[in-house]
Amino acid sequence: MRHCRKTLAALAASSMLAAGAGTALAQQEVTISVWAIAGSTENYRIDAIKMAADILEREYAIRGEDLKINIESKTFTQWSEYKQAVTLAGEAGTAPNIVVSSHTDIAPWAQAGIIVPVEDYVDLDAWPLNDIYPNLVEIASYQGQVWAIPQDTESRPFFFWNDYMKAIGYSDEDLAGLADKVRAGEYTLQNVLEDAKKMQDAGLVEPGKGFWPRPSNGGDFWQFYMSYGGEFATDDGRLLFDREAMKGAYQFFVDAVNLGVTRKNHLGTPWDQWHGALTSGQVGMWHGGTWQYSEWTGKYGLDFFKNVTFTLIPSGGNERGRANTLTHPLVYMITRQDNEDEMVISGELITIASEPRINALHAIKSAHLGITRSEEKVSLYADDRWTREATEVLLPFATAAPNNPNFGQYFEVMMSGLQAAWTGQKTVEQAVADAEKELKAALGDKIVIR
């Protein structure tokens, strides 16, 4: 009897093993790699995909399919390295399945065949994708196709240190109404220079710290081109170089240096020095990004609403000038792969990752703005004062850079001209003329010079 029981147990064990082996064979396992540019608070660019993988596995299981999704991830912090890595991996046929990058990468990567139109893999008519703000879907589109799913959005305001503004004569009411004045074009970049100078003259801030621009290369500087009436592209999709607006933007920084409110070698200042100075009240005015709020209030302990007022970037004060802000949404893109299944699963993952509750985690943790209307109903999101106010004051006036395969080149030329003028290597006229010459030579009829 005892012997018999042993045999039975052995049989049971072996049948269980066999059953286990059977399951293992039926299981479909897929590895999806995701690359993202992500600072310390931006882990949900990747984590949202991991959460989505968990949900998707459960959905497949309910449908009776045993799918195991492994997520491999890699993050970068420098744009230039990130874009280089994705581009070269794409050329080598080893691109990750999903990339989170700038919407301005859509055009070149689409033309090169590195990415596929996301609309071929996801249902844009189904929730949550049908709930994404239409202007964001527009920003993720190129040549009439939707190529990517917005991952977050932001904008780039102008900031004022309250105490110093009050010390040079602004009342609390003035500060409360500043955003409206800026929007109406009544407070211009010329006022910025004057007030920065006043703060320095009054000894509130050290020379060269009246106005601190972003310390490195970045899309933010296009805002000053827009402040003077500049536009990115013509109606038929060609890039546009507006000579007068570019001159205005370059001249603004040169004036700031000549007045002594901005340092001539400001570009290249280490980021931590920049954050540290402006969150400790060493700087009168600056411009930055909405997402930096999380770093300022977290790492640097800034009491934001007590100390800081924010507005659009003021108009240049010329006739065509306008207050503005740039939004630079990051997007999820699917890369071209030989394995169709992987592309389909990538699409499913991106769709789930865009759900309001998951996206709100990223939005609030990293101080970005949400992508769907329903996100405003997620309490984590709705309870956040910064997100709410930034959405109201800034987003309705936000402009995005164009999706054009040659915009990256235009960007480089614009920036190197600005740097040359700012640091005094070239006069403003010379810098604008050289930029124009280079763009004409490099892009020919793909850019309109006006």
Partner 1 sequence: MGNSRHLGLMLLAPAGIFVILFFLAPVVLTAVFGFTNMSTATGISGGAYVVSDSTMLALKERYGEQELAERLLRKSYVIDEAGLQAALEGGAARPTVEELREKYLGASFGSRREVERLLKKLYNRPAGIRQIKKIAAGFERSVVNVRYDTPEALLAAIEGYGITLTEAQKEALAEVSYTGWVFTAQNFKTMVELPDTWRTMANTLFYVFTTLILFNTGFALVLAIATHYMPDRPAGFFRSVWLLPRITPPVLYVLMWKWLAWDNGFLATILEPMGFAPRNWLLDTPANAWTFIILINGFVGASMGMLIFSSAIKAIPQPLFYASEVDGASRWQQIRHIILPQLRWPILFITSYQTLSLLTSFEYILLATNGGPGGATEVWALATYMKALNNYGGALQYGYGAAMSLVLVVIGVALSLVYLRMFNFKALTESPKIEQ
Least distance in angstroms from the C-beta of 61 to partner 1: 16
Question: C-alpha angle with apex 125: 124 to 128, nearest 5 degrees?
Answer: 75
CA dihedral (178, 262, 41, 50) positive or negative: positive
Among 237, 377, 382, 383, binds partner 1 (CB under 8 A): 237
Q: Which residues contact 13 (CB under 8 A, 6 or more apart)?
A: none
Smallest separation (angstroms) from partner 1 to the CB of 101: 8
Number of residues that bind partner 1 (CB under 8 A): 68
267/349 with CB nearer partner 1: 267
148 touches partner 1 by CB under 8 A: no
Distances (CA, A) of 148 to 107, 111, 224, 360: 11, 14, 28, 19
96 prior amide bond cis, ω within 30: no
Among the listed residues 373, 275, 389, 394, the one whose alpha carbon sits nearest the alpha carbon of residue 327 = 394
Contacts for 217 with CB less than 8 Å, ≥ 6 apart:
267, 415
- Least Å distance between CB 116 and partner 1? 10
C-alpha span between 111 and 113 (Å, rounded): 5
**AA identity, residue 253:** F
* Single residue of 111, 130, 171, 339 touching partner 1 by CB under 8 A: 111
Nearer to partner 1 among residue 109 and residue 160 (C-beta): 109
Q: Is residue 16 close enough to count as binding partner 1 by CB under 8 A?
A: no
Contact pick of 55, 240, 442, 449 for partner 1 (by CB under 8 A): 442
Burial of 397 (0-12, 13-18, 19+ CB in 10 A): middle
Long-range contacts of 22-27 (CB under 8 A, 24+ apart): 23/66, 26/66, 27/66, 27/67, 27/68
123 binds partner 1 (CB under 8 A): yes
Closer by beta carbon to partner 1, 319 or else 445: 445
Among 84, 130, 280, 339, binds partner 1 (CB under 8 A): 84
Residue matched to tokens 């710290």: 209
Q: Which of residues 249-308 bind partner 1 (CB under 8 A)?
A: 263-265, 267-270, 273
Which residue type occupies 122?
A: V
- Please report how close the Cβ of residue 124 comes to partner 1 at its closest, in angstroms: 7
In angstroms, the Cα distances linking 119 to 124, 146, 150, 270, 354 are 7, 5, 12, 40, 14
* Between 161 and 407, CB nearer to partner 1: 407
Query: Quick one: 204 or 345, whose CB is closer to partner 1?
Result: 345
Q: Segment near partner 1 (CB under 8 A), from 23-31, 48-56, 162-170, 236-244?
A: 236-244
Residue 352 touches partner 1, criterion: CB under 8 A:
no
22 contacts partner 1 (rule: CB under 8 A): no
Q: Which is nearer to partner 1, 108 or 321 (CB)?
A: 108
- Bridge partners of 335, per DSSP, are 115
Among 91, 138, 172, 201, binds partner 1 (CB under 8 A): 91
Nearest to partner 1 of 4, 92 (CB atom) = 92
Specify whether the backbone of 153 is left (phi greater than 0), alpha (psi in -120 to 50) or beta: beta
Strand 28-37 and strand 67-76: pairing? parallel
Residues 6+ apart with CB under 8 A from 425: 419
Nearer to partner 1 by Cβ, of 145 and 191: the residue is: 145
105 binds partner 1 (CB under 8 A): yes
In the complex, what is the shortest distance from the CB of residue 330 to partner 1, in angstroms, rounded to a whole number?
A: 13
3-state class percentages of the chain: helix first, strand second, coil last, to nearest 5: 50, 15, 30
- Pick the binder of partner 1 from 18, 396, 425, 429 (CB under 8 A): 425
Our finding on whether 241 is near partner 1 (CB under 8 A) is: no
What sign for the dihedral angle of Cα 15, 16, 17, 18? positive
Q: Is 102 in the site for partner 1 (CB under 8 A)?
A: yes
Tell me: does residue 426 bind partner 1 (CB under 8 A).
yes
Does 114 engage in binding with partner 1 (CB under 8 A)? yes
Q: Verify binding: residue 437, partner 1, rule CB under 8 A.
A: yes
For binding to partner 1 (CB under 8 A), which residues are involved? 79-81, 83-84, 87, 91, 102, 104-105, 107-109, 111-114, 117, 119-126, 143-145, 207, 217-218, 236-238, 263-265, 267-270, 273, 344, 405-412, 415-416, 419-426, 434, 437-438, 441-442, 445
